[in-house]
Amino acid sequence: MKIAVSGWSLHRRFQEGKLKLLDFPKEVREKFGVKGIELNSPFFESLEDDYLERLRERVEECGMKVGNIAVDSEGDLASLDEKARRQAVENHKKWIYIAKKIGSPSFRANAGGYGKVNEDVIKACIKSFSELCQEAEREGISVLIENHGGISGDPDIIVRIVEEVKKGIGTCPDFGNFPDEVRYSALEKIAKYAKFVHAKFYEFDENGEDTRIDASRCINILKKAGFDGWLSIEFEGKGDEEEGVTRSIELCKKYL
CATH number of the domain within which 141 lies: 3.20.20.150
**pLDDT > 70 in the chain, percent:** 100
Find the angle CA(59)-CA(38)-CA(48) to the nearest 5 degrees: 60
Give the residue-averaged pLDDT of 105-133: 96
- Residue 155 is assigned to a structural domain of this protein: yes
150: containing domain: 2-242
Give me the pLDDT at residue 141, please.
Answer: 98
For 16-45, write each residue's pLDDT tens digit. Answer: 999 999 999 999 999 999 999 999 999 999
- Residue 53 is assigned to a structural domain of this protein: yes
- Residue 254 is assigned to a structural domain of this protein: no
Give me the pLDDT at residue 86, please.
Answer: 98
103 DSSP 8-state letter? T
- Residue 247 is assigned to a structural domain of this protein: no
Edge to edge, the sheet with strand 169-172 lists 169-172, 142-146, 106-109, 65-71, 36-40, 2-6, 230-235, 197-201
- Residue 251 is assigned to a structural domain of this protein: no
116 has pLDDT over 90: no
For 198-251, write each residue's pLDDT tens digit. Answer: 999 999 999 999 999 999 999 999 999 999 999 999 999 998 999 999 999 999
CB-CB contact of 210 with 203 (8 Å): yes
**Total structural domains within the chain:** 1
CB-CB contact of 68 with 38 (8 Å): yes
Measured between alpha carbons, how far is 142 from 134 in angstroms, rounded to an integer?
10
CB-CB contact of 232 with 38 (8 Å): yes
- Residue 193 is assigned to a structural domain of this protein: yes
Give me the pLDDT at residue 94, please.
Answer: 98
Measured between alpha carbons, how far is 107 from 39 in angstroms, rounded to an integer?
9
Q: What are phi and psi of 110, to 5 degrees?
A: -70, 140
Measured between alpha carbons, how far is 141 from 109 in angstroms, rounded to an integer?
12
CB-CB contact of 235 with 213 (8 Å): no
Measured between alpha carbons, how far is 66 from 227 in angstroms, rounded to an integer?
18
- Residue 216 is assigned to a structural domain of this protein: yes
